[in-house]
Each structure stands twice: as C-alpha cells, then as structure tokens.
Amino acid sequence: MKTVDTSVVQIWIGGDEADARRFFRLVSYKVGLCVTVTRTTFVYTGGEESGLCIGFVNYPRFPTTPEILEERALSLVPSLIETLCQRTALVVGPTRTTWVTIDPPGAAPR
C-alpha cells in the first residue's frame, strides 16, 4: 500500500469527451500522469453548453506536489483548448483559479 498527500487540480472546459480522452491518453503515455475526464453541463446567463471537468490527482504511482500538479495542468491547457476547438478554460487549483483564453487563428480577437 502506498499513500500520498491529497491534492486535486481541475480543468473546466467545453468540448468533446472523446477528443479530450484521446488528448490525455497521448500525454499520459509520454509522462507519468493520471487524470479523470468527467462530462458536465455549464449553465450560465443566457444559455448552457456541454463540457468537461478534467481532474488531475496526486496518484500514488506518480506522486507529485500540488504546485507541480497545477503547473502541469497550466502547461497542458493551451494545447487542450486548441484540440477541443475552444477559446477558454478554467484551471482550478488548490489555492487559485486561472482563466486561460486564446484567440484561435482566423478568429476575430475579443
């Protein structure tokens, strides 16, 4: 039995679940990483849309610190945004939330 301190970081993003799973299978194959991919619905003023919560956990097989877990999520989120054809995502860490936004090629800047 092996235990580690609990830490969780989440990416909240719109997009297709199968594309997100494929993205993280490729990433996880290259580095020690364990994530969860959970469908969700974003309900906001004026509408709603389907989305995902990507959970990064301090998995005992690949132990890390909360800071490194958050850095890993932040480093992957721009590529995930592009893969899922989105413009924004939230990275929710143990002590802060970061809104990441990009202007895709060919899109009108906000």
* Residue pLDDT, tens place only, 34-56: 899 999 999 999 999 999 999 99
Residue 109 binned pLDDT confidence (cut-offs 50, 70, 90): low
User: Considering the domain 8-101 in this protein, what is its CATH number?
Assistant: 3.30.70
Q: Give the whole-number percent of the chain exceeding pLDDT 70.
A: 96
Where is average pLDDT lowest: 17-21, 28-32, 37-41? 28-32
pLDDT at 6 over 80: yes
pLDDT at 23 over 90: yes
Tokens of 50: 């389907």
The pTM score is 0.89
At 61 the pLDDT is: 84
Please list the residues that pair with 57 across neighbouring strands: 8
Domain boundaries, the chain: 8-101
* Whole-number Å distance between alpha carbons of 50 and 48: 7
At 84 the pLDDT is: 97
